[in-house]
Amino acid sequence: MRLHLGVQDIPYTNSDKTTGDVAQILESKYHVMEIYVEEVGTDNIAKAFEESARNALEDLISGAPAAGISLTNDAAGELEAAFRIFIDQKELDYVVPGVPTQASLKGVNHRFKRPYAKSNPVRPSFRDTGLYMASMRAWTEE
């Protein structure tokens, strides 16, 4: 079984880029997901999958229909939620050269009416519109 981390490819509204394009840029420059996996640790990832399988088996024993049960679904959701927390808590700050990014320090935020206003508060790196974070997905394949 192989674990994949990536993003659901969604277009940005005011750009010709998609979340997939942005994810490739961020990964090549900052190694965001690679470092996320290193920080979470393989032991914690394995524990998440153990718990996910345990939950699926308990559902089966309880009589839930087998077609709707996934051994890895809970773990994937847990990894996705933990990634959002990882970004929100600025876990990459001063771990990777260039992070925090200049855009985050200047408060550039395209969710605001004036994205480049000097009065915008500092924000976490990699959370400009929030679409990159929200589109992160974890999945497995055999």
Q: Which CB contacts under 8 angstroms, 24+ apart, belong to 64-70?
A: none
**CA nearest to 117, candidates 126, 104, 108:** 108
Average pLDDT of the residues in 4-18: 94
Average pLDDT of the residues in 103-117: 95
Average pLDDT of the residues in 124-129: 95
pLDDT of residue 69: 86
Average pLDDT of the residues in 102-129: 95
Average pLDDT of the residues in 117-132: 95
Q: Where are the domains of the chain?
A: 2-141
Average pLDDT of the residues in 104-120: 95
pLDDT of residue 67: 84
pLDDT-derived band at 14 (thresholds 50, 70, 90) equals confident
For residue 38, give both structure tokens: 């290193």
Does 14 or 62 have the greater pLDDT score? 62
| pLDDT digit string, tens, across residues 66-84 | 888 889 999 999 999 999 9
Task: Among 9-13, 67-71, 100-104, name the one with the lowest average pLDDT.
Answer: 67-71
**CA nearest to 40, candidates 101, 81, 72:** 81
What is each CA distance from 11 to 7, 36, 41, 136, in whole angstroms? Answer: 11, 24, 31, 14
